[in-house]
Each structure stands twice: as structure tokens, then as C-alpha cells.
């Protein structure tokens, strides 16, 4: 039974995408099936509670292979979506349902798998990660994530660490834009060392541009004249969903530049389904301590800073007052007083002052 659970938990992402594929392919009110499946998962995650048990027990072939499973269903879902648009029979309500379902499932199944693969070394794994990210127009996102976010996490130089008082709406698109610019700069600098320009055919920039142009062209060709409108709306929502999950991983945490990364520099979401559906991305402390460690080998850190269900945090983040008062304030107060070093406490006080938050640490405590 335990072994069945080990296989089943990491197949959930693919199964939910397949539900979305069936819904979009069938059309009509069935296009809402993908969102319904996500909401059911959210309820199960809230009810299941914390899980700090170790993973492992299945074969390495499974842990590696399951990362590729959602790729074809995700592209199939988008193609069926384009066909439904071309038919012109979705109507306003079902258009909204289709856009939401496609967006949520693309972020839910595409982000964790792409994230895991971008930390691998084999060209096939990096290529598969870029295929996932092409769906949202970010095939080079791995460059900033690996070479920017990881070494800079918790500092003001990291655009993927939301600052205290920063809303998810102000964070998502600015962080993605900044990450894209830095990714380009990283690749440009790398190629310059070999005497090549940024558009060298064996570099990352030109293939990235071509992959996005090809994908957009295929989608709009199938969808027809309205394809670009639907594509823009769905991509924008997908990026918002993707950024919303990213928002909860390091929100408000500070780190003195140049100091070692420690378990308290990441938030963890150790609920049962949070861990499974994200391929352990919610087990975040260990991931930052050892970014190259495979997801199934990550240790849990129950003593590290914890947040509630990642789904609950995601939903709450879109209501800034609720997010700050009920989640951010109490958790960051605890972080400042019980986890932060003296240097980090000073930075926390400065961030609280900038955000207009209460000063719950006195100078004497620092």
C-alpha cells in the first residue's frame, strides 16, 4: 500500500491534466473540469494536514520518467483549446472556464516539473524544461532561477524574493520581466567568452525566440483570428498563477548578502498534497541547501519556518489585506524573533519600516 502511494502521489499532476484535456476536448461546460479538479485537490490538501515523512521506495526510472508525463497532455490541452476557439461556440461563460482551467493546469503541472528538470545537467532534461516553459513564453527562465535566484535568495538583488508589503500583483510581472532580462544578460555574457554574439545559433537566445514564435504561430493558426486574444489572456493568467505560487516561497524573508544559506531562508509547505503535486518544491529549505538533489531525496525540515497549505497561501495572497494580517504578520513576526540572525533582524526592521508594518522587534533585541 505504501509503495502504491509512492507511485500514486507523483502521478496526480498527470491525472489532473488528463481531466483537463478531456474537458477541453469535449467542450461546453466540460471545459470547467480542469478547474474543478484543482479545487478538489485544494480541499484535499487542506484536510490532509502536515506530512514530514521521507520519500523514496519507487525506482529511479519512475522518479525521472514521471517528470516528462505531463508534457504531451499539456500541449494537447492547448491544441484542443485552440480548436474550441476556432469553432466559436464556447460563449462568454465557457470561454472564462476554459481560460481558467488551461491556466491553472499549465501552472500546476508545468511549473514543478520544469523546475525540477532545470536543475538537472543532461541536455535532454534542460530541453524538456524549456518545452514546458515555452507554453508560458519563458523558455530561458531556468538561467535566472539557477544562476540568479538561488545565490541571491533573500537579498534585495533577488527579484524572486517578494519584499514585505509587496502584493502578488506588484510582484509577479516585475519579477518575471527582471528574470527574463537577467537570463538574457547571463547568456550574452557566457557566449561572449567564446567570441559569439547573443544570437549565435548554438546559444539559448535564438532557439528560445524561435520556440515561442513557433508555438504562438501554431496556436493562432489552429484557433483562427481570435487566437491571439485568447492566447494573451490565458498566458497572462498562467503567469499570474505561476507567480502566485512562487510568491509564497520566500515572502518577506531577508538575508545579509554574502552570508550562508540556511534552512530558515525559505518557507516550507509540508502538507501531503502540496508536496506531491509540486514534486516536493514545497519542501523548500532542503532544495535551497542542495539545489542539485533530486526531489524524492529531499529531507523535510519540520523545525524550519512553516506556512500552511501552499494552495491556501496561494489563494490568500490574492487578497492582500487577508494575506498580510492573517498569514504574513504572525509568521514573519515569529521568523524575525526566533529564526533571524542579529543582522537579519536589522534588515527586517528596515523592511517593516519601509512597508509601514509594526516594529515588533525593539532595538535592544537586536
Residue 54 sits at φ, ψ, to 5 deg, of -80, 150
pLDDT tens-place string over residues 285-313? 999 999 999 999 998 888 899 988 888 88
Nearest to 331 by CA among 269, 246, 278: 269
Distance CA 266, CA 248 (A): 9
Rounded to the nearest 10 degrees, how much is the dihedral formed by the CA atoms of 280, 281, 286, 292? 100
Inter-residue long-range contacts of 57-63, CB under 8 Å, 24+ positions, other chains counted = 57/2, 57/3, 57/6, 58/3, 58/6, 58/7, 58/296, 62/7, 62/10, 63/10, 63/294, 63/295, 63/296
pLDDT tens-place string over residues 304-363? 999 888 888 888 999 999 999 999 999 999 999 999 999 999 999 999 999 999 998 875
Query: In this model, does residue 364 exceed pLDDT 80?
Result: no
- What is the per-residue pLDDT for 212? 95
Average pLDDT estimate for 96-122: 93
Query: In this model, does residue 2 exceed pLDDT 80?
Result: no
Nearest to 251 by CA among 182, 324, 309, 195: 324
CA 131 to each of CA 3, 25, 104, 136: distance values in angstroms, whole numbers, following the listed order: 30, 22, 17, 10
Per residue, the 3-state secondary structure of the chain, as one string, reads: CHHHHHHHHHHHHHHHHHHHHHHHHHCHHHHHHHHHHHHHHHHHHHHHCECCCCCCCCCHHHHHHCCCCCHHHHHHHHHHHHHHHHHCCCHHHHHHHHHHHHHHHHHHHHHHHHHHHHCCCCHHHHHHHHHHHHCCCCCCHHHHHHHHHHHHCCCCCCCCCCCCCCCHHHHHHHHHHHHHHHHHHHHHHHHHCCCCCCCCCCCCHHHHHHHHHHHHHHHHHHHCCCHHHHHHHHHHHHHHHHHHHHHHHHCCCCCCCCCCCCHHHCCECCEHHHHHHCCCCCCHHHHHHCCCCCHHHCCCCCCCCECCCHHHHHHHHCCHHHHHHHHHHHHHHHHHHHCCCHHHHHHHHHHHHHHCCCCCCCHHHC
- What is the per-residue pLDDT for 363? 55
> Average model confidence (pLDDT) for the chain?
91
* Environment class of 245 (CB within 10 Å of its CB; exposed 0-12, middle 13-18, buried 19+): buried
Query: In this model, does residue 44 exceed pLDDT 90?
Result: no
Amino acid at each position: 500500500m505504501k509503495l502504491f502511494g509512492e507511485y500514486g502521489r507523483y502521478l496526480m499532476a498527470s491525472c489532473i491534466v488528463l481531466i483537463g484535456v478531456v474537458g477541453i476536448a469535449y467542450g461546453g461546460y466540460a471545459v470547467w473540469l480542469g478547474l474543478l479538479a484543482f479545487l478538489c485537490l485544494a480541499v484535499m490538501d487542506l484536510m490532509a494536514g502536515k506530512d514530514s515523512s521521507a520519500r523514496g521506495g519507487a525506482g529511479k526510472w519512475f522518479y525521472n520518467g514521471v517528470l516528462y508525463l505531463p508534457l504531451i497532455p499539456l500541449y494537447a490541452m492547448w491544441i484542443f483549446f485552440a480548436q474550441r476557439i476556432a469553432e466559436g461556440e464556447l460563449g462568454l461563460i465557457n470561454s472564462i472556464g476554459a481560460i481558467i482551467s488551461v491556466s491553472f493546469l499549465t501552472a500546476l503541472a508545468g511549473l514543478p516539473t520544469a523546475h525540477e528538470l532545470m536543475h538537472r545537467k543532461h541536455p535532454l532534461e534542460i530541453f524538456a524544461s524549456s518545452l514546458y516553459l515555452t507554453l508560458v513564453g519563458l523558455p530561458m527562465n531556468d538561467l535566472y532561477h539557477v544562476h540568479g535566484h538561488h545565490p541571491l535568495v533573500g537579498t534585495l538583488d533577488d527579484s524572486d524574493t517578494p519584499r514585505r508589503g509587496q502584493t502578488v500583483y506588484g510582484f509577479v510581472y516585475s519579477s518575471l520581466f527582471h528574470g527574463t532580462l537577467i537570463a538574457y544578460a547571463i547568456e550574452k555574457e557566457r557566449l561572449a567568452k567564446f567570441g559569439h554574439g547573443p544570437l549565435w545559433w548554438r546559444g539559448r537566445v535564438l532557439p528560445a525566440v524561435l520556440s515561442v514564435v513557433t508555438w504562438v504561430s501554431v496556436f493562432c493558426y489552429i484557433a483562427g483570428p481570435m487566437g491571439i486574444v485568447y492566447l494573451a489572456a490565458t498566458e497572462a493568467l498562467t503567469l499570474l498563477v505561476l507567480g502566485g505560487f512562487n510568491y509564497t516561497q520566500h515572502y518577506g524573508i531577508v538575508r545579509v548578502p554574502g552570508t550562508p544559506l540556511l534552512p530558515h531562508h525559505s518557507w516550507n509547505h509540508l502538507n501531503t498534497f502540496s508536496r506531491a503535486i509540486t514534486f516536493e518544491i514545497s519542501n523548500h529549505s532542503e532544495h535551497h541547501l542542495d539545489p542539485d538533489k533530486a526531489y524524492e531525496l529531499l529531507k523535510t525540515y519540520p523545525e524550519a519556518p512553516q506556512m500552511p497549505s501552499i494552495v491556501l497561501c496561494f489563494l490568500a495572497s490574492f487578497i492582500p489585506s487577508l494575506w498580510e494580517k492573517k498569514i504574513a504578520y504572525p509568521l514573519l513576526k515569529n521568523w524575525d524573533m526566533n529564526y533571524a540572525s542579529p543582522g537579519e533582524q536589522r534588515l527586517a526592521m528596515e523592511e517593516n519600516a519601509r512597508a509601514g508594518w509594526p516594529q515588533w522587534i525593539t532595538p535592544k533585541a537586536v
